[in-house]
């Protein structure tokens, strides 16, 4: 079974699909962060140095978005964005 087939099978379950959809914003943010870090040519250690912290803190920050154990503060996300040469934008999008 391919990954695509496994994903389709898992998402055919309503509860699994609801949980998956609930995590979509965190995964989208993580993809953006990793893309920005890669574009900047930085390792986690490089980002950490620019943020004034240590590499394990950046590892925890990036992994917190997928494990749901911690929600980073806006200030932390701003520091990360600046460290990779960007800026943080937050917006509310109305449904419908």
For 48-61, what is each residue's pLDDT tens digit? 999 999 999 999 99
Instruction: State the Cα torsion 89-54-70-36 to the nearest 10°.
Output: 30
Question: What is the Cα–Cα distance from 37 to 67, expressed in whole angstroms?
Answer: 20
Q: Which residues fall within 8 angstroms of residue 61, CB to CB, at 6 or more apart? A: 72, 76, 80
Query: What fold characterizes domain 3-83?
Result: 434 Repressor (Amino-terminal Domain) (1.10.260)
- Checking if the pLDDT of 69 tops 90, the result is no
For 4-37, what is each residue's pLDDT tens digit? 999 889 899 999 999 888 888 888 899 999 999 9
Sole residue written with tokens 């695509």: 4
Q: Which two tokens stand for residue 87?
A: 């800026």
Predicted TM-score of the model (pTM): 0.80
- Checking if the pLDDT of 85 tops 90, the result is yes
Any idea where the domains of the chain sit in the sequence? 3-83
């Amino acid at each position: 079974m391919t990954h695509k087939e496994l994903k389709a099978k898992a998402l055919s379950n309503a509860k699994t699909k609801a949980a998956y959809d609930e995590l979509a914003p965190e995964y989208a943010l993580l993809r953006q962060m990793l893309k920005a870090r890669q574009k900047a040519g930085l390792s986690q250690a490089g980002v950490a140095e620019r943020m004034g912290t240590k590499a394990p803190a950046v590892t925890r920050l990036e992994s917190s978005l997928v494990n749901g154990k911690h929600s980073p503060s806006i200030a932390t996300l701003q520091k990360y964005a600046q460290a990779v040469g960007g800026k943080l934008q937050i917006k509310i999008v109305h449904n419908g």
